Structures are given as structure tokens and as C-alpha cells.
């Protein structure tokens, strides 16, 4: 069987990648700093690895045909360029044939150049840094995850307050995609030479505005759930408390993750999404699916598959 190394396997995207790789018949090596999180998987190799230790990433990649790499989550976003360089060079040194990269966000098409939003403009820098080592790379840029509704910043309001809260304009159109479908796209690229060097924005099979998402949640739970647009600063503070409040300055990444700096950064990101003519959350999936024929999961079907009573480790993703 073909061996695929999944970096950051214990994060929410990584767990989906492991699930789908096993389903597709691949041999999986999962890297994590907490092996206990992988205990529910059978017949996988679990190894400890840390992006701050390039040798550990090299060892994790050694013998693998392909490597699945996911952009670091909030806590380590300030090291994203360094981590991309580490993964690229370690993969090259280990003889990896292909890297499949999940940016966890939209990326501006080449013809646009920079769009004036720091988070989105950094996507191209990270892709470039990853590819500098010379390993064949395919990049997927999923725009908005259904799975976000299960996290600490959304799930509590849905379950306890009958509210779907997000900092989205009520008319904002979004192509919600589930993490397992992102993993399916990544798997499809393993043996697709025609996708090497490509950066592909992906979304789900349907496009919804926030009130429509609330309607779907209402139908699933059998009770009215109302949409409430969160103030950008309130939402940023909510995320800060989840990810950074109890960390010391070193683990926060210094000034880049103080409350004020974080709030400014996140507010700018969501303000851009709400008003941008580029519509980062909306993807025309018809041409993508013609090229990569994945069976996408409808939002209503995804909701039925979830355990809404489960408390997720948000920080793991």
C-alpha cells in the first residue's frame, strides 16, 4: 500500500485526512505531539513530530510517498512561513514524491495579485515557501468549513441559546465544505500529475447565506434557531479567549497575538470577506468538479452525521 504521512494529524483537518485515507486504502503515518488523540484509529503508525524540530519532520516523512500538510492553526500562525519551509525541505530530504497542501482558506487567483488583505495575501507566500525545496506540490484552498459549527465559538450558542452566531453579513454567500470532503480532494491529487503546481479554491455543493444556514439548523434540531451577526470585535475577543487567553507571551507568539493585535487582524479578515468584490467565501464548483469529480456532502447530510453533544478540542484544529 502507498504510505502517506499526515502532518498535524490530531487537528480537525488532520483527523478527517486520516479517516479518508484509511477509507481509500492508503497506509497512514500520523504525526502528533499528543499520540493519545489518535487512539481511536487502528492500523496506523503514530509518530511524534514538531515543526520546530526539522529532524522530527524529516523522520516523519522518510519512506512516505506523499505528505499531507495543513496550514498551522491560530496559535502557531506567526510561524507559518517557517513551518512551510521546514516541511518542504524535510520532504525533499526524505525523498517524498508529492506534497498536498491545505491552506484552510481562500487564495487569490494568480491574475488578481495581492488583494489587500494580509491573511489572504500571505497564502501565496506560504505556497511559494513550501515549493522552494522542489517537491511536486498541489494546493487546495477551502473557503469555509461546515465543521466550524462544532467548535467552541459556534456550537454553544446553537445548542444552548438557539442562536447561530457568526461575523458574516446577512447577505454573504458562502460555499460551505466539510473537512472530510477537503480530504477527498487531497487524496484525489496524490496521483494527478496534471494538478502539480496548482492552487485550487474549493467549496461545498451549495451556496448559503447565514439566515439560510440558521433555517437548516432549525430543521435539523426541530426548533427555531435564529441567526445573529456578531460584531467583529466581539467575535475576535471570543476567539482570543479560546486560543490565547491562558498562554504565556512566548506561546502566543509575542506582540502578534496580543488581544488588540489579534482583534485588529481578525476584524480586518472578516470585514474583507463581508464587503470584498472578490467574494472569497463563494466558489463556482462546477468547473472544479468536472476536473476532480468528488461527491460532495450536502449541508443537511453533514449535520445528520455529527455528534452535536460532543465537546471538541477546538485548539487541536
pLDDT at 254: 46
* Angle, alpha carbons 6-12-18 (nearest 5°): 35
How confident is the model at residue 112, as a pLDDT? Answer: 85
pLDDT of residue 315: 45
pLDDT of residue 246: 54
Q: Could you read off the pLDDT tens digit of each residue along the chain, which spans 317 residues?
A: 799 999 999 999 999 999 999 999 999 999 998 888 898 898 999 999 999 999 999 999 999 999 999 998 755 667 889 999 999 999 999 999 999 999 999 999 988 888 999 999 999 999 999 999 999 999 999 999 999 999 888 999 999 999 999 999 999 999 999 999 999 999 999 999 999 999 999 999 999 999 999 999 999 999 999 999 999 988 988 888 887 765 544 444 444 558 888 888 889 999 999 999 999 999 999 999 999 999 999 999 999 999 998 776 544 33
pLDDT at 153: 83
Q: Is the dihedral of CA 109, 112, 113, 114 positive or negative?
A: negative
Q: What is the pTM of this model?
A: 0.93
* Domains assigned to the chain: 3-145+175-204+279-298 (3.40.50.720)
What integer pLDDT is reported at residue 244 of this predicted model? 74
Amino acid at each position: 500500500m502507498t504510505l502517506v504521512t499526515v502532518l498535524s494529524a490530531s487537528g480537525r483537518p488532520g483527523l478527517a485526512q486520516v479517516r479518508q485515507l484509511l477509507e481509500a486504502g492508503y497506509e497512514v503515518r500520523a504525526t502528533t505531539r499528543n499520540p493519545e488523540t489518535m487512539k481511536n484509529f487502528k492500523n496506523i503508525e503514530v509518530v511524534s513530530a514538531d515543526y520546530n524540530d526539522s529532524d522530527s519532520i524529516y523522520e516523519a516523512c522518510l519512506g512516505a510517498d506523499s505528505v499531507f500538510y495543513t496550514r498551522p492553526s491560530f496559535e502557531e500562525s506567526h510561524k507559518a512561513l517557517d513551518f512551510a519551509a521546514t516541511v518542504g525541505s524535510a520532504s525533499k530530504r526524505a525523498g517524498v514524491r508529492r506534497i498536498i497542501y491545505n491552506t484552510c482558506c481562500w487564495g487569490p487567483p494568480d491574475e488578481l495579485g495581492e488583494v489587500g488583505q494580509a491573511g489572504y495575501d500571505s497564502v501565496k507566500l506560504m505556497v511559494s515557501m513550501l515549493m522552494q525545496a522542489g517537491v511536486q506540490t498541489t494546493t487546495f484552498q477551502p473557503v469555509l468549513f461546515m465543521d466550524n459549527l462544532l467548535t467552541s465559538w459556534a456550537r454553544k450558542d446553537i445548542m444552548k441559546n438557539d442562536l447561530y452566531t457568526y461575523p458574516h453579513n446577512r447577505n454573504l454567500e458562502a460555499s460551505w465544505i466539510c473537512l472530510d470532503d477537503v480530504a477527498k480532494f487531497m487524496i484525489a491529487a496524490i496521483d494527478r500529475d496534471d494538478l502539480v503546481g496548482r492552487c485550487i479554491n474549493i467549496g461545498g455543493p451549495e451556496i448559503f447565506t447565514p439566515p439560510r444556514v440558521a433555517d437548516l439548523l432549525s430543521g435539523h434540531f426541530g426548533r427555531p434557531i435564529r441567526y445573529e451577526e456578531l460584531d467583529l470585535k466581539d467575535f475576535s475577543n471570543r476567539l482570543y479567549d479560546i486560543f490565547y487567553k491562558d498562554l504565556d507571551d512566548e506561546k502566543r507568539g509575542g506582540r502578534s497575538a496580543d488581544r488588540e493585535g489579534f482583534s485588529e487582524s481578525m476584524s480586518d479578515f472578516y470585514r474583507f470577506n463581508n464587503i470584498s468584490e472578490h467574494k472569497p467565501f463563494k466558489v463556482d464548483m462546477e468547473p472544479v468538479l468536472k476536473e476532480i469529480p468528488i461527491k460532495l456532502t450536502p449541508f443537511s447530510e453533514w449535520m445528520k452525521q455529527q455528534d452535536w453533544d460532543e465537546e471538541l478540542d477546538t485548539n487541536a484544529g
